[in-house]
Structure 1
Amino acid sequence: MNDQTFSLQPFASTKSLPNLKIAGNIARNSNQLAIRYMLEGDLKEIVLAFAQRLVEKPTVGIASPSNAPSRKHELWEDTCFELFVGIKDSARYWEFNLSPAGHWNVYRFDGYRQGMREETAFTILPFNVQNQADGLALVLNVDLGKIVSAEQAIEVAITTVIKHRDGEVTYWALTHQSAEADFHLRDSFIVEL
């Protein structure tokens, strides 16, 4: 098992950031990928949507999902934890989007921002979000066997989009390799597993 810790850095911005820290750990055991993000700091200053529970409909008395976690597009427009997984020595990569509300998506790319399409190998992507006294933890365990073989080395970029209450958005990553925030740059896939 290859277990590594990480700490994300905000993209240079003129906006003063709330006292935030995004750190965690990532590991790959055979083809099981586990990542844990820990968001700490002044969370009341950022937009965090949480998963909705089953809600009773008063008129019929049966439980029904209200905004139940599901596959959704454009999660990066709000606070979203992201993971980019590329096969070493290949242009192909995948983008995993995880919302604190439990929504998710996985996109496949043929090359840098090319051929984007929903990755249909995943029909569900369960992950755990815990609102803790000192922050928020998000944990994902995913079998990569649907997209890569256990023998293939992978390169990973770990990122997060933070939406502030005033509507401002900040971009966090292991490294920023461009004059603009761009999580898709392959030079940013610096974790090897």
Structure 2
Amino acid sequence: MVSLVEKTKFNLIPFDPNYLDLVGVSGEIFRNNNYLNIQYLMSGDLLKVIIPGSKRSLRKYDLWEHTCFEFFLRLRNTTKYWEFNLSPSGDWNIFRFDNYRENIAEEMAFDSLFFNLALEKNTLQLDLIIDLNKLNIAKKDLDLAISTVVENRNKKLSYWALIHPATEADFHHQDSFIINI
């Protein structure tokens, strides 16, 4: 098993370069045996961004229709992967796929998902720790794709990722899984 024992920093880029000056989205990823820690930092003039308000943390669908942090875990050398959706409202969901966008199912190994949010004038930080044992992948080599959807004040969505390997924004694209953990 490959284990990240140091934090790996990342910077996301928008699919549409016209959104480069909207905000910045960066973070760190850290794997320590059975746990995956991920931290997102959105920085800049957050008044330009619609940030869903904090309520009760609920499992919900379609979080990607608004500002939402996402990441994807794939078992190395397979097509099976999970999609994690984390809204600044505290809402969340996890989906499991057997192949590229095929056989989608809610991942029921988690009945709740808690993450820390810190919102200041020019920064929004999200911190999450995932117990990989719940997915039975703690001892497995994994590939990771990281992304974010940002909704601006005009209700337009921009799609941010480590890399955009297709002609359209596609966070599920197999070539997006570029971090090995």
Q: TM bucket by the smaller chain?
A: over 0.9
Give, in angstroms, the shift of residue 6 of structure 1: 0.2
Q: Is the 8 A contact 1:18 1:45 kept in 2?
A: no
Give, in angstroms, the shift of residue 133 of structure 1: 3.6
Amino acid of the structure 1 residue aligned with 2:15? F
Matched, 1:113 2:101: yes
Aligned residues: CA RMSD: 1.2
Give, in angstroms, the shift of residue 164 of structure 1: 0.9
| C-alpha spacing 1:86/1:2, structure 2 compared with 1 (3 Å) | farther
Amino acid of the structure 1 residue aligned with 2:9? T
Matched, 1:70 2:58: yes
Aligned to 1:35: 38
Give, in angstroms, the shift of residue 38 of structure 1: 0.3
Q: Is the 8 A contact 1:87 1:148 kept in 2?
A: no
Structure 1 gap ranges (5+): 53-67
Bigger RCO (CA 8 Å, 6+ sep): 2
Give, in angstroms, the shift of residue 165 of structure 1: 1.1
Matched, 1:49 2:37: no
Give, in angstroms, the shift of residue 144 of structure 1: 1.1
Give, in angstroms, the shift of residue 148 of structure 1: 3.2
- Please state whether the residue corresponding to 1:38 is helix, strand or coil: strand
The structure 2 residue matched to 1:168, chosen from 156, 160, 172, is 156
Partners of 1:178 and 1:105 in 2: how far apart?
A: 25
Structure 2 gap ranges (5+): none
- Please state whether the residue corresponding to 2:175 is helix, strand or coil: helix
Partners of 1:149 and 1:116 in 2: how far apart?
A: 18
Matched, 1:12 2:31: no
Give, in angstroms, the shift of residue 50 of structure 1: 2.5
The structure 2 residue matched to 1:128, chosen from 116, 121, 124, is 116
1:129-180 per-position Cα deviation (integer Å, ceiling 9, x unaligned): 1002431100001101111332210000000000111011100000000000
Partners of 2:151 and 2:29 in 1: how far apart?
A: 24
- Structure 1, 31-40 or 42-51: larger mean CA deviation: 42-51
Aligned to 1:92: 80
Amino acid of the structure 2 residue aligned with 1:38? L
Aligned residues: 177
Partners of 2:138 and 2:57 in 1: how far apart?
A: 29
Q: Is the 8 A contact 1:27 1:35 kept in 2?
A: yes
Partners of 2:32 and 2:179 in 1: how far apart?
A: 15
Partners of 1:78 and 1:40 in 2: how far apart?
A: 17
